Amino acid sequence: MAGSFAVSAILTAIVRRLAVRVGFVSRPRQDRFSLNIVPLGGGIAIFSTLALAILSAALVVKFFISLPLIERLSGSVNIVPADVAAKIDQLIIVLLCMAALFILGLWDDKKHLGPFFKLLVQFIVAIIAAAFADVRVELFIQSKILTMFLSAFWIVLIVNVFNFLDNMDGACAGIAVIASAILFTAAATSGQVFVGGLALILIGTLLGFLLFNFPPARIFAGDAGSLVIGFFIALVTLRTTYYHEAQSGRWFAVFMPLIVMAVPLYDFVSVLFLRLRSGKSPFVGDTQHFSHRLKRRGLTDAQTVLVLYLATLCTGLSAIFLSQVDSTGAVLIFLQTLMILSIVAVLESTSA
């Protein structure tokens, strides 16, 4: 995590300066809340850091996993070298899928592509990831075709959820850090070193970027960054094991991603509802995100994102215990999540 943090911070600083020189900046628009000219290109630093980390991991697995020292270390943390080596192909496919979304986002940042073309590319990438990188859910469902399409739908949903979240300084990256930290806890509890490592890499990468993106932002991630972040979060949610047969009766732990993502999903659903109710296309950007609605109640940018962070942290912390409580405890966690979202709804609907 420390390595990805350092690389991300350095690359973000470099990209920020280059973006200003070449005019790759975000300018004030009617469908955007920012009133300042801010450099884009944060997505370049985010993608580059994640890509370097994945390539480094693949090289280590390929050329060093069989060394005696590595074998002894892997044995101490219950890792089978052969199993890790088998994940190289999956890592490469994940990297290619991530690269496709990065290019799509970068293209959109420059040319403003149509929503249906972006959705088509996202679904193609999601299906490839689900089919060939084993990025899919398999609990309680025997059909691989069905799980593949369900997983692809989830990937596209989370990709767009985080794309929607990229509407205020620090919102997308900060919430992604919190979600990743919660998911890392679940992966570590299940002994999933591979998935936990991916979560730590993402956390370090986003923290390095947040040094420049927390209000007032000095650089934006753009679609090139938010699409990659959403894909990586979806990857971690689908590869994490939540349910163990030995813990009979605790199957409701599979709902952990929904609880962790409750706040981002609330924003996504509420914005779609408001746009459709006003007769607008759900794919056209505006300033009706709940972060914007909170700010219009008198909060500063920093106060607004901190409210979002705290709400996400509250739902996420309770989600950790889904695998440890009985059915009554699970119901209470779901009710608590609904109450937290209700508090957010009340705050954003109250007159200034």
3-class DSSP state for residue 26? strand
d(CA 120, CA 167): 23
Q: Of 154, 150, 160, 172, nearest to 105 (Cα)? A: 160
Distance CA 126, CA 100 (A): 10
- The yes-or-no verdict on residue 76 having pLDDT over 50 is no
Confidence of residue 77 (pLDDT cuts 50, 70, 90): very low
Identify the weakest region by mean pLDDT among 223-227, 296-300, 336-340: 296-300
Identify the CA nearest to 6 among candidates 170, 162, 207, 195.
207
When pLDDT is averaged across residues 216-226 and rounded to a whole number, the result is 91
Residue 30: what pLDDT? Answer: 58
Q: What is the pLDDT of residue 83?
A: 54
Domain extents for the chain?
A: 2-349
Give 87-121 pLDDT, tens digit per residue: 777 888 899 999 999 999 999 988 888 888 999 99
- pLDDT of res. 98: 94
- Confidence (pTM): 0.88
- CA distances (Å), origin 226, targets 63, 110, 147, 167, 233: 33, 15, 25, 10, 10
Q: Are 195 and 236 in contact (CB under 8 A)?
A: yes
